[in-house]
Structure 1
Amino acid sequence: MAEKPLSAMYLFNGDDNLKQEMLLERLRKRVESGDETGMNVQVINEKELQGPAHLTDILNTIPFGSPQRLVIVKEVDTLKKPLVEALTAYVAAPLETTVLAMTAKKLARNTRFYKAIEKYSSQSIIDCSQKKRSELPQLIRGIAQAEGVEIGVPAANALIDRVGTSTVSLSTETKKLAAIIKGKGAKTITENDVRSLVALAVEPKSWDLTNALAQRDLSLCLQLLARMKGFTEVGLFAICVTRIREILTAQTLKNRREPVAAGMGKQDWQIREIVRGAELYRQSELLALLKEAPVIEKKMKSGSDAKQLLELWIVAACAGSSIRA
């Protein structure tokens, strides 16, 4: 079956860089498949342009020894106004032998430029919005499988925690992990593999810490604390105490056989880690932690070593030990 003819232009609009790069590579292969010269793919660098007329000349250049040539212009939403105006004029009457591929993080729909592309063909605008965090484990799994290995949801989430939500970074790290795992003769990337082989690249969010606390994962809690430079110890302590209180509430509702999510005024997905914590903590442990919380907070605010107090309280929570400070 013959492939659909290429459009004279494409706009890959959104902040999913991996999707953009995959689409650009697909276009590059299509154009190069009919090109014996290797001279018909050009990536525009704004710094090398001599002005709007130079850009227009490049776009109107006839392909050499090939039916089409590919011109790639990245981040068109950051170009200077004269260049944007030149592109706007060009897309109104493009050269059919040029395939203009443009990327943008967020080109607004109400701009003349966007409207000009849309007028040419709405199908030329490809949505490359960043995937939701909940969709990323499936993406990672697909990348891993393409590399010949498997990865479960817990390991995929651990990778997101360490690398962030950039699809390009997730793809790169998944491929690295796959190569290492296959080198060891294994077939599955585990959560321990991720934590031992992937460097921490992003500052954790508050919920990363509270989720680790709910899981009673002391090692992860301490790792996260060491990297949470944008938070005060008092602030971190407050959100941790709130999480312990939520776990106690969930435990109480479960014991009464009442709906946990409805009873807490939350959605099911919002209480997943809380319910897990309710299964891992004893009620007496939760009550002891909450009883000690006001004492710890008072010491923190009166000049005691807040970092040490927070760490000791978390150790007590995760390890089930008594609190001494």
Structure 2
Amino acid sequence: MKSLTEPSKGGIYLLVGKEEFLKKEFVRSLKSSLFKNLSELDLNFREFDAEPGGFAAFKDFLQTLPFLSPQRLAVLSGVDELEEGEKESLLSFIASFPSSAAAVLVSCETSAKKNPFLSAVSKKAKTVSCYAPFDRDLPQWISTRAKHAGIRLEPAASALLIDKMGKDVPALSSSLEMLATYIHPRKDVNAGDVEALLGRSLQNDVFVLVDNLLKKDAKAALSMTANFLREGIRGFEIVAVLAGQFERMRKAKALMDEGLPGAQVGTELRVHSFFMDKFVVQVKSLSRFDLRKVFRELLLCDESIKTGALSESLAVERLVLSLCLQ
């Protein structure tokens, strides 16, 4: 992710993509590299947008010599919303850009190549992509960000963090910073650290719970669900997560029966790489279960909780025993 690299001093940068956090992070990093103190920053940094008069003010600011600093820095947001005449003026301006200036041009487009104007700008500017990583790239993205924060995440810790935060880039970045502080002076983050700081993840634990149910280990499964309830997880949440996991396994079994390799199926159904092997083994064991009965028991448990026919603990306990007795 280019936004993690230290921007070189001066020049023109074109930021494309939808992730505002990464754009702000890049500007923050550039300001740190250009200005030694707040006085320099206050005198030589401004932000502008594409509203009437915004471009003219942006241009005037950068054409003025810096004061008590080698350079001035200006940010122009909504660059793709400039009037046609302003776009032509901007292209002319950056063709003979002042050596004492640095500029960040912010676009909402996902790629400069799709827009003729941005494509022309990109020939004179350093293009920085600011977008959230794809699902398949999240583990590597987190690993890179963690390294930047001076820590390393074990695979289980990375999987748990993804489950808790999803693709929320600001939340992921903040969590990594908090983890770095939390485990200091250690460098390696384990799943226990993530749980202690951010709480347990039912989505993560469901792989272990399903494992116990498939093995018909009622004692272990009952112990897990009792712990969930003690920690404040509601009975209907346990039912929902189990229903989602069994449905995902049902789809996986159908795909594997058609000849698709297990790893490819897991990727298709967005199973984290850390759980991939376990998931494939669980799917292959699914023939022991009558899925119609599984979903019927899940529905019965859900109804018992929501109608008050049974307490949450009793309804979940009955569900576990019913599934283990299949």
CA contact (8 A) 1:237 1:310 kept: no
Residues 102/286 of structure 1: CA separation in 2 closer, same or farther (3 Å cut) = farther
Report deviation, 1:172: 1.7
Query: When the two structures are superposed, what TM-score results if normalisation uses the length of structure 1?
Result: 0.64
CA contact (8 A) 2:7 2:30 kept: no
Q: In the alignment, what sits opposite 1:71?
A: 74
Residue 248 (structure 2) pairs with residue 243 (structure 1): yes
For 2:126, the aligned partner's letter is S
Taking the aligned partners of 1:24 and 1:89, their CA distance within structure 2 comes to 23
| SS of structure 2 residue aligned to 1:216 | helix
Q: In the alignment, what sits opposite 1:100?
A: 103
Mapping 1:1-325, distance limit 5 Å? 8-17=11-20, 19-32=22-35, 37-39=40-42, 41-46=44-49, 51-73=54-76, 75-76=77-78, 81-82=82-83, 86=86, 89-94=89-94, 95-96=97-98, 97-106=100-109, 109=112, 110-111=114-115, 113-118=117-122, 120-121=123-124, 123-182=125-184, 186-198=186-198, 209=203, 212-216=205-209, 239-245=244-250, 262=260, 266-267=264-265, 269-270=267-268, 273=275, 275-277=277-279, 279=281, 286-287=288-289, 290-294=292-296, 297=299, 305=307, 320-322=320-322
Sequence identity, in percent? Answer: 17
Report deviation, 1:174: 0.9
Deviations 1:251-276 (A, max 9, x none): xx8xxxxx996267954534765751
Report deviation, 1:179: 0.9
Q: Alignment RMSD, CA only?
A: 5.2
Deviations 1:188-207 (A, max 9, x none): 3221221231269xxx9xxx
| SS of structure 2 residue aligned to 1:63 | coil
Q: Which moved more, 1:275-284 or 1:8-17?
A: 275-284
Taking the aligned partners of 1:296 and 1:29, their CA distance within structure 2 comes to 55
Deviations 1:99-127 (A, max 9, x none): 11123342564446414413x52x52222
For 2:192, the aligned partner's letter is N
Report deviation, 1:58: 2.3
Report deviation, 1:14: 1.8
Taking the aligned partners of 1:145 and 1:290, their CA distance within structure 2 comes to 46
Residues 247/101 of structure 1: CA separation in 2 closer, same or farther (3 Å cut) = closer
Query: When the two structures are superposed, what TM-score results if normalisation uses the length of structure 2?
Result: 0.64
Q: Which moved more, 1:259-268 or 1:170-179?
A: 259-268
Report deviation, 1:165: 1.7
| SS of structure 1 residue aligned to 2:66 | coil
| SS of structure 1 residue aligned to 2:209 | coil
Report deviation, 1:278: 5.6
Gaps of 5+ in 1: 254-258
CA contact (8 A) 2:48 2:55 kept: no
Q: How many residues align structurally?
A: 295
Gaps of 5+ in 2: 1-5, 211-223
Residues 27/264 of structure 1: CA separation in 2 closer, same or farther (3 Å cut) = closer
CA contact (8 A) 2:17 2:109 kept: yes
Residues 168/180 of structure 1: CA separation in 2 closer, same or farther (3 Å cut) = same
For 1:216, the aligned partner's letter is L
| SS of structure 2 residue aligned to 1:165 | coil
